[in-house]
């Protein structure tokens, strides 16, 4: 690694109205360095990065980039000066194709006499994707992709710019292991080429494994900069949370009863999934594992009534159910947390409280008039469980950090007291401190007799929490494993379709 | 100790006031307009004239109150004016030609208005068509029915009690003003206090997310358009009373007046938010502008320019004051 | 299939499509009426037109006439398009009530050049682009009548001076602006007696005119006569005046003699309406057109007639005796 | 082996055709209308009448071509009609009163149109105001200037070459039709082939994302509104020629006609997509409806209803066919 200082941010401050998002931001990045940035939800990581990119303007402090003081007024300036960013939330134009999204803002590369050369654009896209080992059709429309695929497109787009500094704000939160491995490979490759990378993540092992050094933030303040070779998970955890011993999580034994709550029989949707049969018991946590695009989300969306299915039946407590839309499902006590929180979860124009109570509003109504007191107390009860810190329940959810938005959405469904709770990537973007709390919460819910289906791309999460694990591959159920037989290797083998036993 | 609390309280109160102003800055714009106008014409700030303005904004105001929900839900309704004309004709026809009792004719009118609105909703939902085109079509549909039914002849000879609804007073307050205020209160209540209002905003903010939370979009839509239809019917009754006749051209171009009031009032055209009080003030601002231009005897052609300019200036003030207040807030 | 083709062939002969009420050998005569906009007055006029056509069809002229109406909705461009369709569609007579005297001219000219018998019902002063130009229901003439009626108020000493409020129609309908503009010209000629206090567009709308008048009552209490564009506007103005108990001291005058206007003159809420009996008008313009087509007309190309009249409290009974209000 | 390839290809081709139909189903609607109309009136499908229709949709079509971009970008422009009137007056004034050469007057008119459009964009961007209100204000602004300037008197006495632009023919083809087709081609090119077009769609689809990718929203907006202003100017010149006079009321209510054509054409009102060819067909459908109702000599009051109904039916056909085609596609 060169010891050439590329970026130095000192004493950065930034407030939004009365919220002090960044109080004392410090960051040093060297050329070719992979630098981790960690901290709790709402610590100010994204804000600091957005200041660097020119999305937000700092209130005070200095930024030195390549030896010059900078204060970009818009992302355009930053992009033109070699800084790009993969944002925490997907930032694609859903109606446009993959290729058009990748080159958005850089069309001039393919201009000849004012005309866009789409052939050349497609060729460059294919080259780029090939080099990175990503297989997505450049011509497919973004809105038809899964969120993981969108995340990969964001990655491609960031790399298309030949930047000297790439900011990645939780690039792995919606990727499964295979894609993460790919991403890590790419990041290392870039670093070797002299590109510096700022890598934001809540996964400590990932930080320690990928990064050369790491900066920690807490409550908008700089907590320290360390080389990753000098620290371990425990010290890192202490830096983040401020306490020494944050217990990990481990679930003991099987708690499930043998009372079947939800049973899905012969579920089939042409071209998406087929022959799906499974059941969940009261008090059981059913983990669903698989690769990106395996169809986990699609199956569960169909169960929830958000998508149509062609054939098959759903039984709730032995009774056959007709679920035509999410309304039916929710009324019957089946709830689902969506994985795409920006597009399918949050209503940005509404407050934190309103977002949380949206699905359960009827509970707080008498003759359709909302009893705000009841609504608020139910909300606070849940939010204490989830450890969400926010300034005011009446604040727009848009102003929360990504992880805190996720907590609100999780809270939304906990407020519903469902019989069956489907969680699609429940801990996406949630900091480690809160993550264990949420595991405990899920466990508690299961103990109350709720049947829980948890889709997760984080295998450790699936392994430690689930009573049983169902592996999905290519729209089919590849395996159902009991707690005893669940091992990382077996799950992966089923997910990839390599069956060792045979 | 007490003084200490006090000291802490005062900036709090100031902050509070500022918050209110930021959220209802259109209120400040209205105040500013009032101040300017009273300097320009001493006739402006008289009780008579204030009631004058209020009475003049009643028709637009009543429809705009419900229209706020349409905009908040991210939709549009171009047929409001035609519904107003249609209900006016139906009610008057029932009273004058069929000689029904007034109350029944009014109830029938309200029902017709609501059904017209609901028809819009049903077509939009059932066929998943853009509201713009559907309501453009029903706009000419309802208007055409009015034309054919009446053969372009307005209906006159309405009973005096009915005319009173549009022209009478309760004490010093014009009855239309009371009806308008009542309508705003009801719509405000439905929007702010009920789950329906919440669902409307959710639908306008993120339709997909609302759907996945169990909000039945088509039912909410039915409610919104039905409510607007009802508002149109109420406006039609007030209007018919006010002009003492059911005009076939009533409500022409009303959708634009409504959108103007709603958007000036701070409900964004893209939906997801609603400000019913703002809509009232928006209608009031338009009323002040119209009234002021008439009071000052501005030449009719200059009025057209002046109206455009004043709307723009009102919005610019609104915007600049927001920026200013935000900056102050940040400085603290 | 050949049968079908035959039928199509036949259909192209105008005679086959027309109703043969007057006799089997009568030739079809197709009239198109391109109207500027569809109003109550226009509907009444259409009744007169239909009457004249019925009379013509009973007159053993050797023709059976039929008429189609085209509404330009106050849009010059649409009127031109309508006339293009009319020319295309093989009509014999075009009755043309222009949206705008200059803008609608190309349409009229095109029809005339295409060989149609063109009746200009609005005196566009373009004698080489029409077969006959009728000068009996144009706006300047109506303005003159109204001016005479108002002059009488001064002459009779009912007022020292007229403080006028003008409520125009809609700005986009320029042809009808004359209904207020004559006052402005008059005020320049006679600034002592005619004072224009205020003017505004009422958009033909009762409610809007009512609001305007309410404001004027505040700001211009000296107004003693309001000139409005049509019955609806006059109604609104009168409503406002009645509400302020000022109707007794303020004249309200309007244009178009509609049934509603007559009723209002009777009950005293309208003081004068200038116009023409739209029905009579429709009848005579149709008769003129048919005469020209048949080659029976030998007069000047510009045909004057005194169809315009005023109705006020003094002559309403006489008027109603001749033109009873139909239900 | 060859036959094998063939077998694979055929369904491919069928799929392709279906794709084209799905993306341009409005085309099918237009065809259907044409078939129905030619059964109802043998005068409909004649060369003269087809050129008739084309000539009649020219003004709306020219403005609507650019308007597609406004809608695609998720914005709105209510001032188009006023710009048309304004440019008509400016150009005619320069020719008739100032006696400038025609070409210079036309160029000046085009410039004025573009600047008017850009003024909208500048106000919207600089003050971050809703396009609806800004263009509502400039609508009355431009229109008021026209009224005051001309004192409500249309300008006549235009040179014959100028009138020819609106009335002349090139061979059998009316000049306005040629101008319209050229405008559509240019706008289509700018939309589909240039980065500007990409940016417009990105802005309408996800403004935030476009901004974060370095798209300069205010510059794109300047381009869009300037382009529409230019389209308005072209339409104004054709219209002035067609009516052989500059009308002060020209272009009244044009924004609605444009939106109708654009939305029927398949560009969603919410933006993010654009279909320029669709807009042309949309304008054509409206033209067919107007022309057809006239050809059939439908009673003018019924025309109002019929027009509304036919627009609705056109959209319903469009929707049903989409559903049908989509289902077929899914089955595969
Ligand atoms: N636009 C905004 N308006 C108001 N407050 C904001 C805004 N953006 C961020 N904040 C606040 O700033 C603080 C820092 O947020 P930021 O998004 O930087 O956190 P983060 O470290 O990225 O958290 P996470 O890990 O959850 O993404 C939070 O308290 C958040 O609520
Ligand atoms: N709306 C859609 N239209 C068309 N195809 C879709 C749509 N949504 C998802 N797909 C496709 O369906 C497949 C299954 O996606 P799904 O989101 O269910 O995967 P998953 O197993 O949940 O993986 P992950 O959520 O981790 O990406 C993917 O290949 C995706 O591209
Ligand atoms: Mg963040
Ligand atoms: Mg998924």
Q: What is the DSSP string of C36-57?
A: S---HHHHHHHHHHHHHHHHHH
Nearest Cα to Cα of residue A439 among A385, A496, A502: A385
Flag if B239 and C214 touch (Cβ within 8 Å).
no
Nearest to D223 by CA among D258, D185, D196: D196
Partners of chain C (3+ Cβ pairs below 8 A): B, D
Does the pLDDT value for residue A15 go beyond 70? yes
Q: Please tell me the number of Cα atoms within 13 Å of D255 on its side-chain side.
A: 19
User: Rounded CA gap, D265 and D278, in Å?
Assistant: 4
Read off the tokens for B76: 């549009």
In DSSP terms, C110 is beta-bridged to none
Q: Do residues D225 and D70 lie in contact, with contact meaning Cβ atoms separated by under 8 Å?
A: yes
Total domains in the fold of chain A = 2
Say what the pLDDT of residue A91 is: 92
The span from the CA of D49 to the CA of C109, in Å, is 19
CB-nearest partner of C80 from D243, D253, D299:
D243
Among A55, A219, A400, A433, name the best residue to mutate to test ligand 1's pocket (greatest count of ligand atoms within 8 A of Cβ): A400
Token readout for A318 is: 């032995």
Considering the domain architecture, whether residues A294 and A366 belong to the same structural domain is answered as yes
Report the percent of chain B where pLDDT is more than 90: 63
Chain A residues whose CB is inside 8 A of the B326 CB are: 17
Summarised one tens digit per residue, pLDDT across range A138-155 is 999 998 888 889 999 999
Query: Which pLDDT score is estimated for B299?
Result: 86
Distance in angstroms (rounded) separating the CA atoms of residues D280 and D284: 6
Rounded average pLDDT over A312-316:
92
A456 lines ligand 1 (CB under 6 A): no
Over 70: is that where the pLDDT of C235 sits?
A: yes
Verify whether ligand 1 is closer than 6 Å to residue A19 (CB atom). yes
Q: What pairs with residue C199 in β-bridges?
A: C166
**For every residue of A147-213, which 3-state class applies, written as one string?**
HHHHHHHHHHHHHCCCCCEEEEECCCCCCCHHHHHHHHHHHHHHHHCCCEEEEECCCHHHHHHHCCE
A35: helix, coil or strand?
A: strand
Residue B288 contacts A where some CB pair is shorter than 8 Å: no
Decide: residue A453, CB within 10 A, 0-12 exposed, 13-18 middle, 19+ buried.
buried
D305 vs B contacts (CB less than 8 Å): 140-141, 144-145, 148
Nearest ligand 2 atom to the CA of A176 is 26
CATH code of the domain in which A137 resides: 3.40.50.300
Position A268 scores a pLDDT of 92
Kindly report, residue by residue over C283-323, the tens digit of the pLDDT.
Answer: 999 999 999 999 888 888 888 877 788 999 999 999 999 87
Of A19, A23, A241, A429, the one to substitute when testing ligand 1's pocket (max ligand atoms within 8 A of C-beta) is A19
Give nearest CA residue, ligand 1 atom 7.
Answer: A399
Residue of the nearest CA to atom 5 in ligand 1?
A399
Which residues of chain A does B194 touch, with a Cβ-Cβ cutoff of 8 Å? 365, 368-370
Q: Distance between CA A94 and CA A86 in Å, rounded?
A: 16
Which token pair is C237? 């103005």
3-state secondary structure D54-108: HHHCHHHHHHHHHHHHHHHCCCCCCCHHHHHHHHHHHHHHHHHHCCCCHHHHHHH
How high is the pLDDT of residue D6?
Answer: 44
Give the ligand with the smallest distance to the CA of A294. Answer: 2
How large is the average pLDDT for residues A308-319?
Answer: 91
Distance of CA D176 to CAs A78, A278, C99, D105, D306, Å? 47, 67, 22, 18, 28
Stretch 242-271 of chain D: residues touching chain A, C-beta under 8 Å: none
CA–CA distances in Å: residue D273 to residues C44, D74, D201, D253:
48, 9, 6, 24
Residues D72 and D271: beta-carbon distance below 8 Å = yes
| Opening angle at CA D108, ends D60 and D234, nearest 5 | 15
- Does residue A371 lie in a domain region? yes
| HSE of A55, CA atoms in CB hemisphere, 13 A | 17
Is there a contact between A149 and A94 (Cβ–Cβ < 8 Å)?
no
DSSP per residue over A381-405, as a string? HHHHHHT---S-TTSBGGGS-HHHH
Indicate if ipTM > 0.95. no
Which amino acids bring their CB within 6 angstroms of ligand 2?
A 144-149, 176, 290, 292-298, 339, 457
Q: What is the DSSP letter of C325?
A: P
Closest to A68 measured CA to CA, from A3, A2, A7, A4: A7
Residue B280 has pLDDT above 60, yes or no: yes
A304 and A161 in a single domain? The answer is no
**Token pair for residue D185?**
């081609």
pLDDT digits (tens, 9 = 90+) for C165-189: 999 998 888 888 999 999 999 999 9
Alpha carbon of A40: minimum distance to chain B alpha carbons (Å): 24
Among A137, A146, A341, say which to mutate for ligand 2: greatest number of ligand atoms within 8 Å of CB.
A146
Q: Based on the fold, state whether residues A297 and A234 are members of the same structural domain.
A: no
Determine the pLDDT at residue D7: 43
Task: Tell me which residue has tokens 């001064």.
Answer: C154
Select from B194, B201, B212 the Cβ nearest to the Cβ of A350: B201
pLDDT for res D114: 98
Q: Is pLDDT above 50 for C222? A: yes
Query: Model confidence over A94-134: pLDDT tens digits?
Result: 999 999 999 999 988 988 888 888 899 999 999 999 988 88
**Which residues of chain C lie closer than 8 angstroms to B250, CB-CB?**
205-207
pLDDT value, residue B71: 95
Q: What is the pLDDT of residues A461-497, one digit of tens each?
A: 888 888 899 999 989 999 898 877 777 788 888 888 8
Residues 6+ apart with CB under 8 A from A287: A454, A456, A462, A463, A465, A466, A468, A469, A470
**DSSP secondary structure of D135-160:** HHHHHHHHHHHHHHHHTT--B----H
Q: Is B153 on the interface with D (CB under 8 A)?
A: no
Interface membership of B326 toward A (CB under 8 Å): yes
Which residues, other chains included, contact A146 with Cβ-Cβ below 8 Å and sequence gap of 6+? Answer: A292, A293, A297
User: Can you name the residues that pair with C32 across neighbouring β-strands?
Assistant: C68, C94
Within a domain: A292: yes
Residues of D in contact with B150 (CB under 8 A): none
Instruction: Find residues 191-210 of chain B whose CB sits inside 8 Å of chain A.
Output: 193-196, 198-199, 201-202, 204-206, 208-210
Q: Which of B130, B268, B308 shows the shortest C-beta gap to D130?
A: B268
Tell me, what's the pLDDT at B332? 47
- Whether A502 is in a domain gets the answer no
C264-270, long-range: CB < 8 A, 24+ apart: C264/C231, C264/C234, C264/C235, C264/C238, C265/C311, C265/C312, C265/C313, C265/C316, C266/C316, C268/C313, C269/C235, C269/C238, C269/C242, C270/C231, C270/C234, C270/C235, C270/C238
> Is residue A25 within 6 Å of ligand 1 at its C-beta?
no
Give the DSSP H/E element, type plus range, for residue A315: strand A311-316
Lowest-confidence pick of A137-141, A174-178, A194-198, C18-22? C18-22
Q: D30, D313 in Cβ contact below 8 A?
A: no
Residues 6+ apart with CB under 8 A from A73: A54, A57
CB contact under 8 A, D244 and C103: yes
pLDDT band, very low/low/confident/very high, at B108 (cuts 50, 70, 90): very high
In-domain check, residue A212: yes
Domain that includes residue A435, residue range: 260-496
A21 Cβ inside 6 Å of ligand 1: yes
What's the pLDDT tens digit per position in D246-263? 999 899 889 989 999 998
- pLDDT recorded at residue B11: 60
Distance from CA of D127 to the nearest CA of C (A): 31
Q: Are residues A298 and A431 both part of a single domain?
A: yes
Considering the domain B43-318 in this protein, what is its CATH number?
Answer: 1.10.3470
Positive or negative, the Cα torsion across B199, B204, B210, B216?
Answer: positive
Of all protein residues, whose CA lies closest to atom 1 belonging to ligand 2? A144
Across all residues in chain B, what is the average pLDDT?
89
* β-pair partners for A226: A214
Taking the C-alpha atoms of residue A478 and residue A497, their distance in angstroms, rounded to an integer, is 8
Report the separation in Å between the CA atom of A395 and the middle of ligand 4, taken as the mean of its atom positions.
29
Which subunits count as partners of chain B given 3+ CB pairs below 8 Å?
A: A, C, D
Q: Over 80: is that where the pLDDT of A257 sits? A: no
Question: How many inter-chain contacts (B to C, CB under 8 Å) are there?
Answer: 93
Residue A416 and residue C315: Cα distance in Å, rounded?
Answer: 79
The residue of C218, C231, C241, C279 whose CB has the most chain B CBs within 10 angstroms, and thus the best one to mutate to test that interface, is C218
Top pLDDT among A135 and B84 is at B84
Q: What angle do CA D141, D142, D144 make, to 5 degrees?
A: 65
Q: Which residues pair with A213 in a beta bridge?
A: A35, A227
* Residue nearest ligand 1's atom 8 by CA: A399
Contact flag D194-A74 (C-beta cutoff 8 Å): no
Interface membership of D42 toward C (CB under 8 Å): yes
Gap between the Cα atoms of A343 and A321, Å rounded: 28
Inter-chain CB proximity D247 and C103 less than 8 Å: yes
| B-interface mutation test, from A347, A348, A359, A391, most B Cβ less than 10 A away | A347
Whether the Cβ atoms of residue B66 and residue B227 lie closer than 8 Å to each other: yes
Q: Judge: D316–B128 Cβ closer than 8 Å, yes or no.
A: no
- B256 touching chain C per CB within 8 A: no
**Do the Cβ atoms of A165 and A6 come closer than 8 Å?**
yes
| Phi, psi of C82, deg, nearest 5 | -55, -45
Average pLDDT on A184-192 reads 93
On whether the CB atoms of residues A293 and A146 are closer than 8 A, the answer is: yes
Q: What mean pLDDT comes out for the span C226-240? A: 94
Indicate the burial class of B16 (C-beta count within 10 angstroms; 0-12, 13-18, 19 or more).
exposed
Q: Do A425 and A475 share a domain, yes or no? A: yes
Classify residue A250: in a domain, yes or no: no
**Ligand 3 centroid distance, CA of A397 (Å):** 13
Q: Are residues A226 and A273 in the same domain?
A: no
Long-range CB contacts (< 8 A, 24+ apart) of D14-20? D15/D329, D15/D332, D18/D325, D18/D328, D18/D329
A478 touches A274 (CB < 8 A):
no
Q: Whose CA is nearest to atom 4 of ligand 1?
A: A399
Whether residue D5 has pLDDT greater than 60? no
Q: Which residues of chain C neighbour D299 with C-beta distances below 8 Å?
A: 69
Closest CB to C103: pick one of D43, D143, D243: D243
**Residues A296 and A202 placed together within one structural domain of the fold:** no
The Cα D332–Cα D327 span in angstroms is 9
Which DSSP helix (H) or strand (E) runs through A260?
A: strand A260-269
For ligand 1, whether the C-beta of A378 sits within 6 Å is no
Q: Do A357 and A481 belong together in one domain?
A: yes
Interface test with B, best of A15, A143, A301, A349 (most B CBs within 10 A): A349
């Amino acid at each position: 690694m060169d010891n050439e200082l590329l970026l130095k941010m000192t004493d950065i401050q930034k407030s939004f109205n009365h919220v002090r998002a960044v109080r004392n931001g410090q960051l040093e990045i060297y050329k070719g360095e992979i630098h981790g940035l960690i901290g709790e939800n709402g610590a100010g990581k994204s804000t600091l990065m957005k200041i660097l990119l020119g999305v937000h303007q700092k209130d005070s402090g200095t930024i030195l980039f390549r030896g010059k003081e900078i204060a970009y007024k818009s992302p355009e300036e930053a992009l033109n000066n070699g800084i790009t960013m993969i944002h925490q939330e997907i930032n694609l134009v859903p109606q446009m194709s993959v290729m058009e999204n990748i080159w958005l803002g850089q069309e001039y590369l393919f201009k000849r006499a004012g005309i866009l050369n789409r052939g050349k654009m497609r060729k460059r896209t294919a080259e780029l994707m090939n080099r990175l080992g990503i297989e997505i059709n450049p011509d497919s429309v973004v809105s038809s992709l899964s969120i993981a695929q969108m995340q990969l497109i964001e990655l491609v787009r960031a790399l298309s710019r030949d930047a000297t500094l790439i900011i990645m704000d939780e690039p792995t939160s919606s990727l499964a292991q295979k894609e993460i491995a790919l991403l890590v490979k790419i990041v290392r490759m870039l670093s070797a080429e002299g590109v510096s990378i700022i890598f934001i993540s809540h996964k400590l092992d990932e930080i320690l494994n990928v990064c050369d050094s790491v900066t920690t933030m807490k409550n908008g303040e700089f907590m320290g900069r360390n080389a990753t070779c000098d620290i371990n998970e425990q010290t890192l955890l202490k830096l983040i949370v401020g306490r020494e011993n944050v217990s990990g999580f481990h679930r003991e034994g099987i708690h499930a009863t043998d009372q079947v709550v939800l049973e899905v029989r012969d579920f089939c949707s042409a071209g998406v999934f087929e022959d799906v049969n499974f059941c969940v018991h009261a008090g059981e946590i059913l983990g669903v594992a698989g690769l990106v695009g395996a169809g986990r989300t699609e199956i569960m969306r169909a169960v929830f009534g958000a998508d149509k299915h062609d054939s098959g039946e759903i039984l709730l407590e032995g009774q056959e159910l007709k679920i035509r839309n999410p309304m039916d499902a929710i009324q019957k006590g089946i709830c689902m947390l969506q994985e795409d929180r920006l597009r399918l979860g949050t209503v940005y124009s509404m407050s934190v409280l309103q977002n949380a109570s949206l699905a359960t509003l009827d509970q707080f109504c008498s003759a359709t008039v909302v009893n705000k007191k009841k609504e608020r107390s139910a909300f606070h009860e849940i939010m204490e469980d989830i450890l969400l810190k926010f300034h005011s329940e009446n604040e727009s959810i848009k102003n929360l950090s990504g992880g805190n938005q996720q907590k609100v959405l999780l809270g939304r469904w906990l407020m519903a007291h469902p019989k069956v709770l489907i969680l699609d990537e429940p801990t996406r973007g949630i900091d480690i401190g809160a993550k264990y709390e949420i595991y405990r919460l899920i466990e508690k819910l299961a103990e109350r007799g709720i049947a829980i289906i948890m889709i997760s791309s984080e295998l450790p999460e699936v392994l430690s929490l689930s009573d049983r694990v169902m592996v999905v591959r290519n729209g089919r159920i590849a395996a159902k494993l009991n707690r005893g037989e669940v091992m990382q290797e077996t799950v992966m083998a089923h997910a990839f379709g390599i069956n060792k036993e045979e | 100790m007490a003084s200490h609390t006090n000291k802490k309280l005062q900036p709090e109160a100031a902050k509070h006031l500022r918050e209110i102003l930021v959220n209802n800055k259109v209120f400040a714009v209205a105040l500013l307009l009032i101040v300017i106008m009273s300097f320009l014409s001493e006739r402006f700030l008289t009780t008579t004239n204030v009631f004058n303005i209020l009475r003049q904004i009643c028709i637009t105001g009543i429809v705009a109150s419900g229209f706020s929900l349409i905009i908040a839900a991210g939709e549009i309704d171009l047929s409001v004016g035609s519904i107003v004309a249609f209900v006016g004709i139906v009610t008057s026809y029932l009273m004058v030609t069929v000689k029904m009792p007034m109350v029944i004719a009014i109830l029938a009118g309200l029902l017709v208005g609501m059904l017209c609105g609901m028809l819009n909703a049903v077509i939009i939902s059932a066929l998943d068509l853009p509201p713009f085109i559907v309501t453009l079509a029903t706009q000419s549909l309802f208007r055409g029915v009015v034309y054919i039914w009446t053969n372009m002849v307005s209906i006159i000879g309405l009973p005096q009690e009915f005319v009173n609804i549009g022209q009478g007073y309760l004490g010093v307050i014009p009855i239309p003003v009371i009806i308008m205020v009542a309508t705003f209160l009801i719509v405000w209540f439905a929007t702010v206090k009920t789950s329906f209002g919440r669902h409307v905003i959710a639908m306008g903010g993120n339709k997909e997310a609302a759907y996945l939370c169990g909000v039945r979009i088509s039912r909410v839509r039915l409610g919104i358009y039905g409510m607007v239809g009802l508002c149109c019917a109420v406006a039609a009754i007030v209007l018919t009373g006010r002009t003492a006749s059911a005009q076939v051209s009533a409500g022409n171009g009303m959708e634009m007046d409504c959108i103007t009031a709603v958007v000036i009032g701070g409900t964004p055209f893209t939906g997801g938010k609603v400000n019913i009080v703002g809509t009232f003030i928006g209608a009031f601002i338009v009323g002040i502008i119209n009234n002021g231009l008439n009071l000052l005897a501005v030449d009719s052609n200059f009025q057209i320019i002046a109206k455009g300019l004043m709307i723009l200036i009102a919005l610019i003030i609104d915007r600049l004051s927001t920026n200013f207040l935000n900056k102050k807030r940040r400085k603290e | 299939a050949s049968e079908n083709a035959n039928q199509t062939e036949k259909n192209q002969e105008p005679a086959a499509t027309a109703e043969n009420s007057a006799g089997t050998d009568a030739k079809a005569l197709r009239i198109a009426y391109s109207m500027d906009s569809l109003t109550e007055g226009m509907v009444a006029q259409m009744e007169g037109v239909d009457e004249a056509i019925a009379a013509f069809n009973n007159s053993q002229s050797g023709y059976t006439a039929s008429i189609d109406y085209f509404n330009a909705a106050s849009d010059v461009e649409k009127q031109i398009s309508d006339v293009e369709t009319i020319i295309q569609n093989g009509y014999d007579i075009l009755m043309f009530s222009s949206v705008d005297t200059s803008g609608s001219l190309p349409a009229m000219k095109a029809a005339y050049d295409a060989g149609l018998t063109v009746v200009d019902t609005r005196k566009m002063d373009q004698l080489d682009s029409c077969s006959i130009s009728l000068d009996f229901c144009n706006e300047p003439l109506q303005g003159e009548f109204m001016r005479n009626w108002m002059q009488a108020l001064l002459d009779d000493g009912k007022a020292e001076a007229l403080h006028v409020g003008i409520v125009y129609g809609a700005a986009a309908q320029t042809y009808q602006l004359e209904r207020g503009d004559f006052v402005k010209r008059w005020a320049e000629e006679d600034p002592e007696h005619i004072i224009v206090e205020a003017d505004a567009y009422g958009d033909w709308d009762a409610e809007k005119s009512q609001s305007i008048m309410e404001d004027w009552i505040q700001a211009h209490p000296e107004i003693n006569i309001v000139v409005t564009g049509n019955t609806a506007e006059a109604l609104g103005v009168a409503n406002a005046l009645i509400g302020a108990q000022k109707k007794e001291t303020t004249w309200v005058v309007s244009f178009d003699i509609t049934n509603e206007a007559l009723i209002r003159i009777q009950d005293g809420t309208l003081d004068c309406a200038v116009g023409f009996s739209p029905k009579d008008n429709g009848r005579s313009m149709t008769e003129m057109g048919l005469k020209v087509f048949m080659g029976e007309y030998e007069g000047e190309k510009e045909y004057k007639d005194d169809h315009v009249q005023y109705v006020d409290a003094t002559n309403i009974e006489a008027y109603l005796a001749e033109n009873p209000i139909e239900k």
